[in-house]
Each structure stands twice: as C-alpha cells, then as structure tokens.
Amino acid sequence: MSSLPRVAFLGTGLMGSQMARRLIGAGYPVTVWNRSRAKAEPLGGEGAVVADGAAEAVADAAIVITMLTDGPAVTDTLFGAARVAESLAPGALVIDMSSISPATARDHAQRLAAHGRRHIDAPVSGGVSGAAAGSLAIMAGCDETDFAEALPAFAPMGRATRVGPSGAGQLSKLANQVIVGVTIGAVAEALLLAAAGGADPAAVRDAIRGGFAESRILDEHGRRMLERNFLPGGKVRTHIKDLDTALAEALDSGVTLPLTQNARDRFAFVRDAMGGGGYDHTALLLQLEEAANGARVGEGKDQLPG
C-alpha cells in the first residue's frame, strides 16, 4: 500500500487525464471522476479508481485536484449538486488547476475555509504535451504552508511557483495567456510577411531562431502554422475565455491592454466568422490570411478538427 496521500482528480479531459497519469506514475493512489465517465474509464486500467460521483471521489482524499472547463463548472462541482465541499475529508487540501477568474478563486477559498478546508488556485501552462511530459508551469496562489504541503504532488506534473496569496495563481495564468495570445499573433504576422514578400517562411523561422525572437511559440506554434495543423491543442474558444477574463480584470484594475484586445477580437473572428471555436489557437493565422490578398503560410492542406 502506498504511503503517499490519496488524490481525487476531478476533470479528466485532454489535460486532466495526462496530469492524473503523472500522479499515478509517481505512485500516488488516485481516484478520478469526470462528468462524462467515458473520459475517466481509461485511467481505471492504469491504476486509478473510477468514481461514479464527485462526492464519492473526494470522500477519503487528502488532496483534491480540480481541472474543469471554467469558473462556473468549478463552482457547481464544489458547491452545487455534486456536494464536493461538504463531502471533503477533514483537513483536505483542494487544489484548483482550472483557469478561472481571480475573484472566483478567492471566493472559492473563502467558502471552503468556512467548511474548515484549504484551497490553492494553481492554473497551469504547457498544453497537453507539457501535461504528458510532466513539464507544466504551475502558478500557485495560497499561503506558504499549504504550498509546501502541495509541492510533492505538484512535482510529477511540473514546476510549481508560489506567486502570491489566493487569486494570484489565476492572475499569473492571465498574464501567461496574454503573452501567448499576443505572441501567436506576432509569429503569424511575421511568417505571413515572409511568405507575402517572397521569402520561404520555414527558412525565415529557422533563421531567426536563437536570436531575440526565439520563443516556444515560434518553435511549436510556428511549426504548426507551417504544417497548417489547426487540430487542438489549446482551443480558440478557451483562449477567448481567458482573454475576456484578463480584459475584465484589467478594467477593474484601471489599466488598458490594447494588444490583448486586438488579439482577442481576431480570435473571435476565427470563432464566429470561420466556425473555428474548436480549432487550435494557432488558427489566428487564418484570420490574418483572410485579409492578406491570397498570401498563405505553408503549402499543405488545412488540418481542421471534425
């Protein structure tokens, strides 16, 4: 029997399933739950216990990790019909790794404290590949004692950094999403400029790598653009949700984010005018090509979901 604490993992979609696998591989006893049980079933064959309900999943867990679609989904799971908050074991630590608003994360922390339970907001960056490799960037908002307790569980999933008190993890994720969204646009524009002017965009990408323009976005998303691979990955609709949250937070804080607004509106065009809400966020390129008088990055056929 493992001496490690039992973990309940709620939400086993593309990201959550890989993160749960990392914990199973590290020797943690893991119970999994997902609204659509079929998404959790494969983990049952890899050593996890598959629970029928969220309340059942958390009943004997020392650590409860949520990886859900958005703030309302987390709120409903914790405090709605799923009855997770009232079913938590005494002393349980809830780690919400979903991407939600800072205000919602702070509200969850306060409501769980009223139940005598602890909370960390710890959203992640790194995508499905980072989740599978255990190389996620984990941004935690919590007190130092709870962070120290959570570190061993974070370790199989990636590199965790405490960035401040409750809600600060979500602020850090918003900053991440601003950088990713704006940089995807910059890479798309750069490759489109190269293609429109007669240069080989693949060669241009190779040439500028290692200089000041080097980034993971240029590496991974630039390659996707050249391959015309718009299969998700990080979805357009999810990135819009995060940028909307960032813009709302900026408004509340009295700052303006014009580059973020521009990127958000271009993602929205892909979602609304091109039916691309489920495309990878690299598909921002498609919006730029739409107005580029026939200029196109990459030679192949578009790879699109569905």
Show which residues are catalytic: 173
250-258 own/partner pairs: CB under 8 Å, 24+ apart:
257/178
C-alpha distances in angstroms, 113 versus 62, 94, 141? Answer: 16, 11, 15
281 vs 194: CA distance, rounded Å? 21
Cα 289–chain centre separation: 27
CA atoms within 13 A on the CB side of 271: 16
Task: Choose among 65, 30, 66, 64: nearest CA to 49.
Answer: 30
Map residue 49 onto helix, strand or coil. strand
Contacts of residue 188, defined as CB under 8 A and 6 or more positions apart, other chains included, come to 225, 282, 284, 285, 288, 297
Q: Can you tell me the distance from the alpha carbon of 26 to that of 4, in angstroms, rounded to the nearest whole number?
A: 10
Measured distance CA(24)–CA(157) in Å, rounded: 11
> What is residue 60's three-state secondary structure?
coil
Residue 231: both structure tokens together: 């299969």
H-type alpha helices, 80-235: 84-87, 102-114, 127-133, 144-154, 168-197, 201-208, 216, 222-227
Determine phi and psi for 70, rounding to 5 degrees.
-160, 180
